[in-house]
Structure 1
Amino acid sequence: MAEIRAFNATLQTGNFTRAAALLSVSQPAITAQIRKLESRFMSPLLERFSKSVRATELGHQLYQITRQYHDLEAAIDALSNPTLAPGKMTLQVANASSLIFMPLIAEFSRRFPLTTLKIRSVTTSECRQLLLNREVDIGLFPLMNDNSELSRLAFSSHRLVAVLRLDHPLAHKSAVSVRELAAEPLIIYKPEAYTQQTLEQLFGRHQLTVSGNVVVDGRLDMSEAVYHGLGVGFALEQDFSSDSRLKVLPVTEATDDVIEHVVWMKNRRNLPGIRDFIHLAIEQRCGALSELSEL
């Protein structure tokens, strides 16, 4: 176990020095443990660089198995101390919808100020993969397909909208149809972006094809491309920050809600940090529903 801890800490922190600091041992001790582990496999587990390391294929396979050991230790601590709140720890979060989830993240930070939050802003598909690889603890994204390893909490919902310049011929309308949009130059996202997938599904249901000469990586680039006259852009409604230069219009046929979820590995639910984040999300979700019921 000492060898495994040294190996995992080195991969998690990126080099031997930080791994030694994490485990409160000397750097030579870390190096010795990893060499001993590699001798068991009679093959390198790490590629060494001047200031970092990277797992070999065999090392990656070993890490996928052994990274669960830390969860086991944390689960035992949580079982023996059921009221234990997260202390000085790091919670890794993969976030695909910052405007929706940042208030939740901020509230968690206020309640648990000793916890360091590491936030990775990535696409929906990347969020899912990072969770399954145990590279993050919490995912914030639309999880549309059931997965036996993942649990989810519906947190918010919104729909696809079109984004136009104020002087665009369609900007005076209260809503715009997919056929009107199909006749316009469109600003599109890379294929793995969830907004792009939603757009293509919508157009596909009406036997239309999404095409455009401008492909962007994110919503900020989309907004600037729209403002500079490169075409009509798209966003999920709550993901778009208000911009006085642009007009946001509902798409008439976009009647399906996209549900944003808080997502976690089922077998990690009771770990400190993850458990508390879930409880806070439930609390905020129930509070929002109570406010709606009073309107």
Structure 2
Amino acid sequence: MDLRLLRTFQAVAELENITQAAERLNFTQPTVTAQIRQLEEHFGVRLFERLGKRLYITEAGRFLACQSANLLVLYEKLEGQMQDFTERPEEVRLGISSPLMNYHLSSVVRHFRREKANLSLQVDLCLSGAEVENGLLNNRFDVGLLHEKPVSSLLSPFFWRKEAMIWVGCLDMVSLCQGKPLAEWPYLSFRPGTVMREKSKGAMQEQEPDSLAEYSDSEGVKRAVLDGLGVAFLPERLVQAEVENGFLAILTDAPAGQLELWAAVHRDKEETPGRKELFAALGIETKK
């Protein structure tokens, strides 16, 4: 039902005069009369009776006046509450498959804070690319950043960037490994089935040494390398600061590699200004 009909009815019920109600509402008298008649037809009861020049509200009219007054108060409250949502920053829910992505997100968050106060970013670190894909499929995330191209045909993939991968270790460990066969390296690896594990195997032409320990996340591997437990094949961006500060060194005669990073969205999800701004800040081309 059009709530304007109830507002018109409230004015007539209060003033008991259609002409005065029309003046208050800035309507014509026939418009007010037509709206009252429309309400009466809707409910199937008489709301007013006219005796001579006087207008009298019926019992049904008095009941409607009481209930509609409460309804209009609730509606006005609801309008105010819904207005709060329009004034909130748009939240972009981002799922990432590796801590590596965080090294690229600081500039995005800074951009949102300085230039796009009407946008906010919620970042969830997932255990795998599969978890990110599931989050996109069940609408947990608006955007996913993965270290491999998504598998699901329900997702639209967008190539983001390539990351160089290098062998690193603490200074003593690198000195120990340089010039020795791969099989003799004190090797720290990722769990089987992970993209990082496949990348390290590919860099060594499938001749990987026995691993001292296997980790599920790159930050865990980096921490072990910093503690001098072994060497590892990691994205260069992940260890750049530690290399520059002399905490880690690169095995210069070891095979390097590359890691592809991808963005993905559900193909049926409508594009929003926030998502568009996030892709622009990350430098991701969405036009195909």
Query: What TM bracket, shorter-length normalisation?
Result: 0.5 to 0.7
Deviation at 1:194, TM superposition (A): 2.7
Unmatched runs of 5 consecutive residues or more in structure 2: 1-85
1:191 aligns with 2:192: yes
Matched residue count: 193
Residue aligned with 1:120, SS: strand
Tell me if the contact between 1:160 and 1:251 (Cα under 8 Å) persists in the aligned partners: no
Match of 1:121 in 2: 125
* TM-score, reference length from structure 2: 0.56
- Displacement of 1:184 after TM fit? 0.9
Which residue of structure 2 aligns with residue 225 of structure 1? 224
Shift of 1:266: 1.9
Please tell me whether residue 104 in structure 1 is matched to residue 108 in structure 2.
Answer: yes
| Change in 2 beyond 3 A, CA 1:228/1:142 | closer
Measure the CA separation in 1 of the matches of 2:172 and 2:181.
16
Q: Point out where structure 1 has 5 or more consecutive residues left out of the alignment.
A: 1-84, 287-295
Note the alpha carbon deviations across 1:18-75, whole angstroms, 9 max, x for none: xxxxxxxxxxxxxxxxxxxxxxxxxxxxxxxxxxxxxxxxxxxxxxxxxxxxxxxxxx
CA RMSD for the aligned pairs?
Answer: 3.2
- 1-side partners of 2:174 and 2:256: how far apart? 21
Cα distance in 1, alignment partners of residues 143 and 284 from structure 2: 16
1:1-295 alignment runs, 5 A limit? 88-95=89-96, 96=98, 97-122=101-126, 123-144=128-149, 147-168=152-173, 170=175, 180-191=181-192, 193-203=194-204, 206-243=205-242, 244-249=246-251, 252-255=254-257, 257-281=258-282, 284=283
How far apart are the structure 1 equivalents of 2:276 and 2:240?
30
Cα distance, 1:237–1:208 mapped onto 2, change above 3 Å? same
- Structure 2 residue identity aligned to 1:249: L
- Post-superposition shift, 1:220? 3.5
The separation in 1 between residues aligned to 2:184 and 2:220, in whole angstroms, is 22
Structure ID, larger Rg? 2
Q: SS where residue 114 of structure 2 aligns?
A: helix
> What code does the residue aligned with 1:151 have?
S
Provide the C-alpha distance between the structure 2 equivalents of 1:170 and 1:133, rounded to a whole number of angstroms. Answer: 49
- CA distances 1:191-239 after superposition (whole Å, capped 9, x unpaired): 3543223213434xx2424531322343343233223332112211123
1:119 Cα deviation after fit: 0.6
| Structure 1 residue 94 displacement after superposition | 1.1
Q: What do residues 246-291 of structure 1 show as CA deviations (whole Å, max 9, x unaligned)?
A: 1133575434x3222222122225234223323443xx358xxxxx
Q: Is the 8 A contact 1:188 1:214 kept in 2?
A: yes
Aligned-partner residue type, residue 102 of structure 1? S
Identical amino acids, percent of aligned pairs: 17
Q: Is 1:165–1:171's contact at 8 Å kept on the other side of the alignment?
A: no
